[in-house]
Structure 1
Amino acid sequence: MHGLGELEAAVMNVLWQEHPLKVRDVLDRLETGKKLAYTTVMTVLDNLHRKGWVTRELEGKAYRYEPAFSRAEAAARTVRDVLVSSGDPEAVLMHFAQSATERESELLRRALPKKKRSSAS
């Protein structure tokens, strides 16, 4: 995901699959190919909380974490960031529209609100 480091993205992937989870639960489910320390995962979750990617609730002495928004919402935010940072959102959208599959084009047509036609037209 845009704006996330590799380990942050891996933690978010775990939370999008199952939540809420404690640090230990996230650590046990992470598949990074590396042995990670509990404190490393705790720090990553704290950073994700500070950045607004996760919410947390204290349960006993430990926090339970869950995503602040869905994977689809995160992807949409990434697209929005790309459009804003491109300097020419119209050109980016036009290139995307030209490269969209038939299925993607149909989904976009259904998602865009239909303009009300006035009887005066």
Structure 2
Amino acid sequence: MRRLGALEAAVMDVLWRASGPRRVRDVLEELTRDRQLAYTTVMTVLDNLHRKGWVQRAMDGRAYRYRPVASREEATAKALRDLLDSSEDVEAVLLHFARSVSPHESAVLRDALGPGDGGPAGSRG
């Protein structure tokens, strides 16, 4: 997945908050609460997101309905993975990140990496 522009991110936010697939008109109505956009602009953005692999679409009558390929959390994790994969020094990136997390985030990571998952606690035993 490629990174998103500002309008693409706004469209994805609408889709991630939605309870199901949305038509171009549905997305437009959500977005025009904050700004003025043309129907064709939103249609082009959704088409681009489909081409980039961010959304799936299915024909419903004469209009497509769009839905995210992945949840916001899955897409964020994929973006982090892509950043790590493109780094020349993954260890340095991870260390900087580890120093920036909150105590709660640190606890979540420790729990996720619990004993036996290759973390320091699992490698001692």
Equivalenced residues, count: 117
Matches within 5 A, 1:1-20: 3-18=3-18, 19-20=20-21
Structure 2 counterpart SS, 1:57? strand
In structure 2, the partner of 1:93 is 94
Q: CA deviation at 1:110?
A: 1.2
Note if contact 1:10-1:32 (Cα within 8 Å) is conserved in structure 2.
no
TM-score (norm 2): 0.85
Note if contact 1:15-1:67 (Cα within 8 Å) is conserved in structure 2.
yes
TM-score (norm 1): 0.88
In structure 2, the partner of 1:21 is 22
**Mapped partners of 2:11, 2:100: distance in 1:** 31
Q: CA deviation at 1:115?
A: 1.0
Structure 2 counterpart SS, 1:56? strand
The one-letter amino acid of 2:9's match is A
96 and 21 in structure 1: CA distance in 2 versus 1, 3 angstrom threshold: same
Runs of 4+ in structure 1 off by over 6 angstroms are none
Structure 1: segments with no counterpart, 5+ residues: none
Task: Please give the per-residue CA displacement for 1:80-120, whole angstroms capped at 9, x wherever unaligned.
Answer: 12212221111110111122221111100111253187xxx
In structure 2, the partner of 1:77 is 78
Q: Select between 28-37 and 72-81 the one with higher mean Cα deviation.
A: 28-37
Identity, in percent, stands at 59
Structure 2: segments with no counterpart, 5+ residues: none
In structure 1, the partner of 2:41 is 40
Note if contact 1:53-1:68 (Cα within 8 Å) is conserved in structure 2.
yes
